[in-house]
């Protein structure tokens, strides 16, 4: 056996010895610990005190016991595709390491350093023993939780036992399988251990955050998950956590830029247990589930730390390196800590020059829904497994349905066509590993193990937004791949989007575009608010008891019902604005007709019964009406919050259906009274050009607005006297009609004369190539299209410009 000692090989690193007293983030390699700790400490990041047992110590244990050849022999006929083969060989290697004699000098070094912690925190100080494998936390590959972590360890005997088990966990079944897949030599990789003072998150909260959007790969987003108790609950996916999105660019400018908040169910939490069982899981009281487990200020602190950690690792790597970070809040002191960080390895390695879209061609019976992981679609026969000891029942290509997963499930996860779990969020084990494997998963699908039938074909669809759906049957779908390096775009005409779905924003924003020419608020109100704004303003006077009960359920936790409307609307707008930042996002004020408003909860009490709502109480006429003014004030507050509080000044405002110049002036006056004044902080106002009067008086509208957006649908309808919902009149005409084109040509001419921006919103340019050519010739500034037509139409316009 080679002569080795703990002192000779620096197998123990006390954090103060590497340049810091109160911080410890340990990855697979320890060579740059001192520089890293000092850099992060100077930036104000707090991490538990402790010491590191280096990867050299792991190799020292194997060499001291002389068991490397035995390990090689045991693994010589390894077959990871055979679950029984994998299990038996993994168990034999782990037993070999657990029974190996532990070097006395290493034992002494561990005990001596634990005594240092005892001097600081008292006898039997509680510590976390965390492992980090050099093949687990590389920038190129990372499966979460391959090696074991032990919480609430007290005393030297328990500590040494935990360290021994950490070393043995180098050969868990999932770790062996992973290294085989990655072609890593089993004896070349190492494992380091950190021994950290426990953060009392059992009395506080904990979670995981990523410095990149985990589903779209959007680099300007930080995703934070949070739940009560010790962090293993979030990592395992045993609870569906609270979810926060923070926008990095405006955060760095000093804005409190939380652009989205979603309340999780948080049904259970992990607490300290007894001496025989270190942790226990208990139910979270109902009142605590109904509120966020950390404050907005704490979310922002974590987000700032995430940017610092990302910057450090990116500087070391010499390129952008997003991070996967675990954090904890001490419930006794209220302090926040970072407990672990590793490179994110899925989205950061994705080929950004290829757009891949999965399209479901037919919908079936919806069985369950939850958080979508990835954007793919998977089909297969369901295999419901509630305990990992039954994973040998799983067959390649099955859809795995279970309560939650942990690292023991990984050997079958990699052969699944899709994964569905009852519990968990976007940072749970099931989500992280599914992402790594490129397998669609629906997590937090409540009741999935009960509601999905066993051994039946299902389709798991993650292509319809952030809500993943499981349909009965094997449904047809197609895959569309677009190489962006072959895309040509026009140089004179901007190509913008028509968009209004916040959950798709981070993905769609990566299609080459010049911003959003029409951001609709209607989807946000229908999907996230669902309540008529006047029913919230006049909540005590809502006469329908059924509507009032629905309002109470949706607005739980809001004493001020109006604040619910402002919060939800501002987060929806902010998500879209953040996704496209710094590109312009023109938000059209709500343009529901009275019949559409009436369908909102409590709406019938506040809406007139109009014979022709298409030309009734809508747009500017509604906003300036004293009856509706209190509701319009809420909309203004939401927009002001997005621009002034969150710093998303790329948001511009568009006023629809403005019949007269006087109406336009009145709307601008009301908005100024709400803190939205034209020209202040770069705020611009556009008017929809969709009524003939907008064209006839374009020079007058140009005096009070910064630009026009041609609404070709309504302009066609009102020019030709059509009911656009009537199929019988469809033959009369469309945007390509000469009368409509003359009006469009006139307003473009006036806009250019008065140096006002002018664009068009609608599918006419993509439906009618000659209409697109007409717009380019007339000098339109921008054309806004639905996302699915933007690339093809853009290439067509680029060819027209060359002509």
Q: Which residues are catalytic?
A: 429, 761
CA terminus-to-terminus distance, the chain: 79
- Is-contact 534 628, C-beta < 8 A? yes
Sheet holding 205-210, edge to edge: 258-262, 242-247, 221-228, 205-210, 323-329, 336-343
- Is-contact 503 467, C-beta < 8 A? yes
Q: Where are the beta strands (DSSP E) in 15-90?
A: 50-53
Report the alpha-carbon distance of residue 128 to residue 154 in Å, rounded: 9
Sheet holding 127-133, edge to edge: 12-14, 50-53, 191-197, 127-133, 150-153
Count of CB atoms within 10 A of residue 134's CB?
19
Which residues on adjacent β-strands are paired with residue 342? 324
| Ramachandran class of 220: left when φ > 0, alpha when ψ lies in -120 to 50, beta otherwise | alpha
448, two tokens = 């999935």
Its sign, for the CA torsion 536, 539, 544, 548, is: positive
> 340 vs 213, 221, 226, 757, CA distance in Å?
19, 20, 15, 50
Report the alpha-carbon distance of residue 707 to residue 180 in Å, rounded: 60
Tell me, rounded to whole angstroms, the distance of Cα 650 from its chain centroid.
21
- Is-contact 154 124, C-beta < 8 A? yes
3-state per-residue secondary structure call for 127-196? EEEEEEECCCCCCCCCCCCCCCCEEEECCHHHHHHHHHHHHHHHHCHHHHHHHHHHCCCCCCCCEEEEEE
- Is-contact 701 667, C-beta < 8 A? no
Tell me, rounded to whole angstroms, the distance of Cα 729 from its chain centroid.
44
Report the alpha-carbon distance of residue 352 to residue 355 in Å, rounded: 7
Report the alpha-carbon distance of residue 133 to residue 189 in Å, rounded: 7
Residues 6+ apart with CB under 8 A from 620: 655, 656, 657, 658, 659, 663, 664, 666, 667
Which residues on adjacent β-strands are paired with residue 758? 708
Which residues on adjacent β-strands are paired with residue 442? 372, 420
- Is-contact 294 205, C-beta < 8 A? yes
Count of CB atoms within 10 A of residue 571's CB?
22
Tell me, rounded to whole angstroms, the distance of Cα 113 from its chain centroid.
40
Q: Judging by DSSP bridges, how do beta strands 685-689 and 651-655 pair with one another?
A: parallel
Which residues on adjacent β-strands are paired with residue 128? 196
Report the alpha-carbon distance of residue 78 to residue 91 in Å, rounded: 12
Residues 6+ apart with CB under 8 A from 444: 240, 264, 265, 370, 371, 421, 422, 423, 424, 425
| H or E, element range at 460 | strand 457-461
Report the alpha-carbon distance of residue 372 to residue 296 in Å, rounded: 25
Q: 629-640 vs 561-580: helix axis angle to the nearest 10?
A: 40
Estimate the share of the chain in helix, then strand, then coil, as percent rounded to the nearest 5: 40, 20, 35
């Amino acid at each position: 056996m080679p002569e080795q000692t703990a002192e000779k090989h620096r197998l123990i690193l006390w954090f103060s010895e590497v340049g810091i007293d109160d911080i410890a983030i340990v990855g697979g390699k320890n060579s740059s610990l001192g520089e890293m700790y000092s850099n992060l400490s100077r930036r104000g990041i707090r991490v538990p005190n402790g010491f590191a047992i280096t990867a050299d110590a792991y190799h020292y244990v194997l060499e001291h016991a002389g068991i490397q050849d035995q390990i090689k022999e045991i693994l010589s006929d390894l077959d990871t595709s055979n679950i029984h083969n994998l299990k038996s060989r993994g168990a034999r290697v782990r037993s070999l390491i657990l029974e190996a004699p532990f070097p006395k000098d290493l034992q002494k070094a561990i005990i001596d350093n634990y005594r240092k912690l005892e001097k600081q925190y008292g006898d039997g100080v509680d510590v976390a023993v965390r492992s980090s494998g050099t093949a687990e936390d590389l920038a190129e590959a990372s499966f979460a939780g391959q090696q074991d972590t032990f919480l609430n360890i007290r005393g030297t005997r328990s500590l040494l036992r935990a360290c021994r088990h950490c070393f043995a966990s180098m050969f868990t079944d999932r770790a062996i399988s992973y290294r085989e897949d990655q072609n890593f030599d089993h004896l070349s990789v190492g494992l380091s251990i950190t021994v950290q003072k426990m953060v009392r998150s059992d009395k506080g909260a904990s979670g995981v955050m990523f410095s990149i959007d985990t589903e779209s790969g959007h680099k300007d987003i930080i995703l934070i998950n949070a739940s009560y108790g010790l962090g293993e609950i979030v990592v395992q996916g045993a609870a569906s956590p609270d979810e926060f999105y923070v926008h990095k660019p405006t955060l760095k400018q000093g804005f409190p830029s939380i652009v989205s908040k979603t309340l999780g169910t948080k049904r259970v939490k992990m607490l300290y247990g007894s001496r025989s069982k270190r942790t226990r899981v208990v139910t979270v009281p109902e009142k605590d589930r109904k509120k966020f487990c950390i404050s907005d200020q704490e979310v922002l602190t974590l987000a700032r730390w995430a940017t610092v950690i990302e910057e450090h690792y990116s500087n070391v790597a010499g390129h952008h390196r997003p991070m996967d970070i675990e954090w904890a809040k001490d419930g006794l002191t209220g302090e926040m800590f970072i407990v672990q960080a590793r490179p994110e390895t899925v989205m950061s390695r994705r080929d950004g020059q290829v757009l891949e879209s999965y399209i479901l061609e037919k919908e079936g019976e919806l069985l369950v829904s939850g958080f979508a992981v990835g954007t793919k679609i998977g089909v297969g026969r369901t295999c419901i497994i509630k305990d990992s000891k039954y994973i040998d029942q799983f067959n390649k290509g099955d859809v795995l349905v279970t309560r939650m997963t942990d690292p023991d499930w990984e050997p079958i996860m990699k052969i699944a066509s899709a994964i569905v779990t009852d519990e968990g969020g976007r940072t749970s084990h099931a989500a992280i590993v599914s992402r790594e494997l490129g397998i669609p998963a629906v997590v937090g699908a409540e009741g999935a193990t009960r509601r999905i039938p066993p051994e039946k074909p299902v389709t798991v669809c993650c292509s319809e937004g952030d809500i993943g759906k499981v349909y009965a049957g094997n449904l047809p779908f197609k895959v569309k791949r677009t190489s962006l390096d072959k895309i040509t775009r026009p140089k004179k005409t901007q190509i913008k989007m028509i968009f209004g779905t916040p959950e798709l924003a981070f993905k769609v924003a990566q299609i080459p575009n010049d911003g959003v020419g029409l951001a609709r608020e209607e989807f946000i109100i229908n999907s996230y608010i669902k309540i008529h704004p006047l029913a919230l303003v006049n909540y005590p006077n809502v006469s329908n008891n059924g509507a009032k009960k629905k309002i109470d359920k949706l607005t739980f936790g809001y004493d001020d019902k109006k604040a619910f409307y402002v919060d939800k609307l501002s987060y929806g707008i902010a998500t879209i604005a953040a996704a496209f930042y710094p590109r312009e996002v023109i938000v059209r004020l709500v343009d529901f007709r009275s019949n559409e408003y009436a369908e909102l909860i409590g709406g019938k009490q506040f809406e007139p019964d109009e014979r022709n709502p298409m030309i009734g109480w809508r747009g500017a006429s509604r906003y300036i009406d004293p009856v509706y003014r209190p509701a319009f004030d809420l909309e203004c507050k939401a927009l002001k919050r997005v621009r002034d509080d969150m710093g998303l000044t790329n948001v511009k405002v568009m006023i629809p259906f403005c019949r007269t110049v006087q109406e336009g002036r009145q709307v601008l006056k009301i908005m100024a009274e709400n803190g939205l004044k034209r020209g202040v902080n770069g705020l611009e106002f556009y008017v929809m050009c969709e009524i003939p009067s907008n064209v006839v008086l374009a020079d007058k509208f140009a005096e009070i607005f910064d630009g026009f957006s041609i609404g070709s649908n309504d302009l066609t309808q009102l020019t030709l006297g059509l009911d656009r919902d009537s199929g019988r009149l469809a033959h009369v005409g469309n945007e390509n009609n000469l009368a409509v084109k003359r009006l469009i040509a006139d307003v473009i001419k006036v806009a250019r004369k008065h140096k006002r921006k002018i664009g068009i919103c609608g599918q006419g340019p993509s439906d009618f190539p000659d209409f697109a050519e007409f717009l380019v010739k007339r000098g339109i500034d921008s054309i806004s299209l639905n996302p699915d037509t933007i690339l093809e139409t853009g290439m067509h316009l680029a060819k027209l410009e060359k002509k």
